[in-house]
Structures are given as C-alpha cells and as structure tokens.
A = this chain, B = another copy of it.
Amino acid sequence: MKEEESGGGRKQGAGPPCAACKLLRRRCPRDCVFAPHFPANDPQKFATVHRVFGASNVNKLLQELPEHTRGDAVISMVYEANARLRDPVYGCVGVISSLQQQVGALQNQVALAQAEVVHMRLRQTLAAAPSSSRGLVASSLSRDINHSQCYYYMDMEEPLWS
C-alpha cells in the first residue's frame, strides 16, 4: 500500500498499478504479465478470474503462453469465470451441454426436412415417369432418403450428460 501511495505503483514510475497488482497489493513492474490485460479502470475483470482460478494459476498460465495468444486466453478465462460464478454447479459446461442438445435437435430437423425434400422429389418423379419404370425410380430415390438421414447423425458429439 505504501508503495502505491508514494507513487511507486510501477517500477520506474511507469503509471498506476494494474488492477491485478492493486488487488494483490504488490508492486506492478514494467513487464507485469497482468498489466496489458487487466487495466486499473476495470478491477472487476481481474477480481472475477482471481476468484475462480486464483491469481497464481492465471499468472502461471499467461507466463507459459506466447504473448500474442495471451489476450484471447484472458478473454476465455474471464468468460469461463463469469459462467462459473453465474452457475456454480455447471459453469461453462452447462453452456456446452445446452449447445450440444441444440445441435442434436437441429440435426434432426435437417434430416427431416431433407428427407421431406427427397420424398417430394420421389413423388414428383414417380408422377412424371411412365408406369413401366416406377419400381426402379422408387427404389433409387428410397436409397437417397436413407443416406440423407444417416449423414446427419454421423458426426454428433458425445453428450456431456445423458
């Protein structure tokens, strides 16, 4: 505290301490790993990640990353920490689970709509085809319907909660 009051918040008088150093009550060095991402005018941002991950873990994670990726890492940690404070049981994973359900429901809708398209084409083609070749046309289009339905179930991710 004394350092801040005497204007020594940053080594070599580079400005006020960043939000992280202020909260941790420590000297904010010129090469502070937090300073570029946690400005003094937004104390809540650091308080949130500190509460969920702990300052030491945030520091370690940022130190281990190349500088050009640290901005995105901070955004993702702030998002994750806010999600955990909003929903302490599921956090971000609740959002993932809900999106996975949405993907599943949409894959069903796509399969149904595409099957309907194929079915309507079948009917149109059958109506236009001479009666002698209708069996062949129907069997070919029926294969298309089955293929279209399988395709949209193929790459569904494993749900987090069943």
Q: Is A73 on the interface with B (CB-CB < 8 A)?
A: yes
Contact A93 B79 (CB under 8 A): yes
The smallest beta-carbon distance between A107 and chain B, in angstroms, is 6
The A51-65 residues at the B interface (CB cut-off 8 A) are: 51-54, 56-57, 61, 64-65
The smallest beta-carbon distance between A17 and chain B, in angstroms, is 23
Chain B residues with CB below 8 A from A57, complex form: 51-54
Contact A96 B99 (CB under 8 A): yes
A115 nearest CB neighbor, chain B only: B113
Main secondary structure of the interface of A (DSSP, over half): helix
Contact B65 A88 (CB under 8 A): yes
Chain B residues with CB below 8 A from A107, complex form: 106
Tell me which of A33-41, A116-124, A136-144 binds B.
A116-124
Chain B residues with CB below 8 A from A92, complex form: 76, 80, 91-93, 96
Q: Is A114 on the interface with B (CB-CB < 8 A)?
A: yes
Contact B91 A80 (CB under 8 A): yes
CB<8 Å pairs between A and B, sample of 28: A53-B53, A53-B54, A53-B57, A54-B56, A61-B88, A72-B89, A75-B93, A76-B89, A76-B90, A76-B91, A76-B93, A76-B94, A77-B91, A91-B92, A92-B92, A92-B93, A95-B96, A96-B96, A99-B99, A99-B102, A106-B106, A106-B110, A110-B110, A110-B113, A113-B113, A113-B116, A120-B120, A120-B121
